[in-house]
Structure 1
Amino acid sequence: MTEHSWNAFTVERKDHVAQVTLIGPGKGNAQGPDFWSELPQIFAELDADPEVRAVVLAGAGKNFSFGLDLAAMAPVMGPALADKAQAAPRTTFLGDIKKMQSAITAVADCRKPVVAAVQGWCIGGAVDLISAADVRYASADAKFSIREVRVAIVADMGSFARLPAIIGDGHLRELALTGKDIDAARAEKIGLVNDVFADAEAVLAAAHATASEIAANPPLVVQGVKEVLDHSRKPAVDDSLRYVAVWNAAFLPSEDIGEAMAAVFQKRAPEFKGR
């Protein structure tokens, strides 16, 4: 396969295993425009590469990802959030949501199993991303948060669609309704991650070890296992993604989301008024 130069990722291939690493360019590997445009391209290439049999998904530096880069994505969100936004900007926003959803879905639909290695913070859209992986590992310092509710957003990139099958409805509701942070030990307890390792180096090594085990198996059978496991839940996932995309295109604009964004940039507590 021809290697590309990516802005938000690096991609390395060795011994039938590819490593896809988030590198930003936003602080904490935040998910800006390059992330959303490059992710589906990368996973389409890996899916089509017969030499790749498993993928390790990692983040560079101290953190896996801070999630959505609010500042960088403002041009996408701004018109739909404008006061009295009409049908045209909301329709465009719906299309943008669906494109972003398809980026995460490219990870879930990749025929090559994906093992996520998480260190440090894994926030919002980053939880959406790892929910699309087949196996999730964490370092002892990892912290997770479905934080969208705290910035007046209904999470719409896949956490609500995929996590019920991973952590169960009750745990998902607790995390989604509070926006609380949980540590690696709690994440392992509820099943969000399969195992916890001492540090970033150890969790990446463990992810590669599992990916190598997968890659040693018959590749077409591995793909068949994944397809069969995904078959029954995929219609429900697709339906959930469609519903939340339409819901957010219609109802995301509010005074509260403007207040939430202002509070983030001004580094203060928001004051929500339900308007």
Structure 2
Amino acid sequence: MSGSETNTATSGEYVSLSVERTGHVAEVTLLGPGKGNAMGPDFWRELPLAFAELDRDPEVRAIVLTGSGRNFSYGLDLAAMLPSWTEYLGGDALARPRREFLDEIRRMQDSITAVARTRKPVIAAVSGWCIGGGVDLISAADIRLASADARFSVREVRVAIVADMGSLQRLASIIGEGHLRELAFTGKDIDAARADKIGLVNDVYPDRDATLDAARKLAADIAANPPLVVQGVKDVLSVNTEQRIDAGLRYVATWNAAFLPSHDLNEAVQAFLQRREPEFRGE
């Protein structure tokens, strides 16, 4: 495949994302279909399929991951996901539904882990909001770039959820324990300048176009190197944290399967649907 050739991957089968290849660089773009590229059932099913396809493709040497429109991702699409979780989250849920919920959490974790496990380096180009599951996703990338308007939030605590898709496991080695605990305990929003200062992103660019251009150039620079050596570097670097991350994901999946159903979670959901502030009781 020549450097100037651009092909759309077999992405007609995908609803939540598109995949394009230009030379040795693939570009994965989140499409939603939820508002702000929110992550609904299609996303969790399709993300590992797309990355497995790119991992198998010997022509792909680097991957750019971005969002369509103004925002990277609003995170989990609660409105789309909650209907299928009714049995899991009921206050009287017994062993079987809790076990099924554990399986669901692990399946979703595996979707994000597919990004981290691909042998090809992944560069996330973030503009606008990157919330909750969006942060989980970029934490699985190798390199993160942001536009000046980017905003980040590990927001799960504000909806009575322990973040369980990878942020708590992966971000410590990226931004350090202190910064991670601050973000995870408060659910606060941080801007691109703060993200740059704490090391969440490598660089900040004026706007979305400049960020994408920088990500594509960086991917091309990576792709120009010997591909098996680049993949070997990623493999060697990943071994430092892989076992710890896997153990942490298993632990949080079990914790949430046991403790996530709560009055506070129901209150958070109702407050979200009614567009009001929640009143948590610690129950």
* Paired residue total: 275
Match of 1:21 in 2: 29
SS in 1 for 2:79: coil
Asked if 1:81 corresponds to 2:92, the answer is: no
Match of 1:60 in 2: 68
Q: Cα gap change, 1:22/1:2 in structure 2, threshold over 3 Å: closer, same or farther?
A: closer
Asked if 1:103 corresponds to 2:107, the answer is: no
Task: Check whether the contact 2:26–2:63 (CA below 8 A) recurs between aligned residues.
Answer: yes
Report the Cα distance in structure 2 between the residues aligned to 1:221 and 1:151, rounded to whole angstroms. 43
Task: Check whether the contact 1:76–1:93 (CA below 8 A) recurs between aligned residues.
Answer: no
Q: 2:184 aligns with which of 171, 176, 197?
A: 176
What pairs with 1:41-56 in structure 2 (closer than 5 Å)? 41-56=49-64
Q: Cα gap change, 1:114/1:2 in structure 2, threshold over 3 Å: closer, same or farther?
A: closer
Report the Cα distance in structure 2 between the residues aligned to 1:250 and 1:75, rounded to whole angstroms. 19
Report the Cα distance in structure 2 between the residues aligned to 1:76 and 1:208, rounded to whole angstroms. 38
Q: What amino acid sits opposite 1:202 in the alignment?
A: A
Report the Cα distance in structure 2 between the residues aligned to 1:137 and 1:254, rounded to whole angstroms. 37
TM-score for both structures, normalised by structure 2: 0.96
What displacement does 1:229 show? 0.1
Report the Cα distance in structure 2 between the residues aligned to 1:195 and 1:168, rounded to whole angstroms. 18
Structure 2: 5+ residue stretches without partners: 1-7
SS in 2 for 1:71: helix
SS in 2 for 1:115: strand
Task: Check whether the contact 2:154–2:188 (CA below 8 A) recurs between aligned residues.
Answer: yes
Task: Check whether the contact 2:109–2:249 (CA below 8 A) recurs between aligned residues.
Answer: yes
Asked if 1:216 corresponds to 2:263, the answer is: no
Task: Check whether the contact 2:9–2:21 (CA below 8 A) recurs between aligned residues.
Answer: no
What displacement does 1:75 show? 2.9
Q: 1:117 aligns with which of 120, 125, 140?
A: 125
Q: 1:248 aligns with which of 237, 248, 256?
A: 256
Q: Which runs of 4+ in 1 moved over 3 A?
A: none
Report the Cα distance in structure 2 between the residues aligned to 1:83 and 1:243, rounded to whole angstroms. 22
Task: Check whether the contact 1:44–1:110 (CA below 8 A) recurs between aligned residues.
Answer: yes
Q: 2:165 aligns with which of 144, 154, 157?
A: 157
Q: Cα gap change, 1:90/1:225 in structure 2, threshold over 3 Å: closer, same or farther?
A: same
What displacement does 1:2 show? 6.3
Report the Cα distance in structure 2 between the residues aligned to 1:257 and 1:14, rounded to whole angstroms. 44
Greater mean alpha carbon deviation, residues 68-77 or residues 234-243 = 68-77
Task: Check whether the contact 1:76–1:96 (CA below 8 A) recurs between aligned residues.
Answer: no
Match of 1:232 in 2: 240
TM-score for both structures, normalised by structure 1: 0.99
What displacement does 1:76 show? 3.4
SS in 2 for 1:72: helix
- Alpha-carbon RMSD: 0.9
Report the Cα distance in structure 2 between the residues aligned to 1:54 and 1:108, rounded to whole angstroms. 13
Match of 1:3 in 2: 10
Asked if 1:265 corresponds to 2:253, the answer is: no
Task: Check whether the contact 1:54–1:214 (CA below 8 A) recurs between aligned residues.
Answer: yes
What pairs with 1:179-190 in structure 2 (closer than 5 Å)? 179-190=187-198
State percent identity of aligned pairs: 66
Q: 2:140 aligns with which of 132, 142, 167?
A: 132
Task: Check whether the contact 2:160–2:268 (CA below 8 A) recurs between aligned residues.
Answer: yes
Report the Cα distance in structure 1 between the residues aligned to 2:84 and 2:166, rounded to whole angstroms. 19
Q: 1:202 aligns with which of 207, 210, 216?
A: 210
Structure 1: 5+ residue stretches without partners: none
SS in 2 for 1:34: helix
Report the Cα distance in structure 2 between the residues aligned to 1:180 and 1:206, rounded to whole angstroms. 28
Report the Cα distance in structure 1 between the residues aligned to 2:45 and 2:223, rounded to whole angstroms. 27
Report the Cα distance in structure 2 between the residues aligned to 1:22 and 1:77, rounded to whole angstroms. 24
SS in 2 for 1:73: helix
Question: Residues 173-203 of structure 1: CA distance to partner in whole angstroms, max 9, x if unpaired?
Answer: 0000000000000000000000000000000
Q: Cα gap change, 1:156/1:121 in structure 2, threshold over 3 Å: closer, same or farther?
A: same
